[in-house]
């Protein structure tokens, strides 16, 4: 009787150990999920920094004209009233100039 009970308990223990260590629902899944969480946290950190930069830029655009002027000058190539644009071209290499 006791021997049969010990065999049954040993079999149950082996089944539980199999599920824990070998099956796809055990530790392998836990390790995979932990890796996925780590990657997601890194992505969230990068996105949080980007959102903070964008919020600061939106705040600058709402409060004053300096940020709007800077964007107009750098991205759109605009100049202010009374300003003169001087554009300096890069020198042409002699080989291209002779052709």
Residues spanned by the domain of 57: 31-78
Q: Are 9 and 2 in contact (CB under 8 A)?
A: no
Residue that has been written with the tokens 């052709």 in this structure = 99
pLDDT of the chain, 99 residues: tens digit per residue: 888 888 898 888 888 777 777 777 777 888 889 999 999 999 999 999 999 999 998 888 888 788 778 888 888 878 878 888 777 888 888 776 676
Based on the structure, what is the number of domains in the chain?
1
What tokens does 89 get? Answer: 């071209």
Residue 44, in any domain of the structure: yes
pTM: 0.50
Return the SS3 of 20.
helix
What tokens does 98 get? Answer: 């002779």
Residue 74, in any domain of the structure: yes
Residue 57, in any domain of the structure: yes
Residue 56, in any domain of the structure: yes
């Amino acid at each position: 009787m006791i021997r049969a009970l010990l065999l049954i308990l040993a079999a149950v223990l082996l089944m539980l150990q199999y599920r824990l260590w070998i099956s796809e629902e055990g530790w392998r899944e836990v390790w995979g999920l932990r890796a996925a969480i780590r990657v997601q946290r890194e992505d969230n950190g990068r996105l949080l920094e980007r959102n903070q930069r964008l919020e600061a830029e939106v705040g600058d655009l709402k409060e004053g004209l300096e940020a709007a002027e800077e964007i107009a000058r750098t991205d759109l190539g605009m100049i202010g009233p009374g300003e003169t644009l001087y554009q300096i071209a890069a020198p042409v290499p002699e080989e291209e100039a002779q052709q």
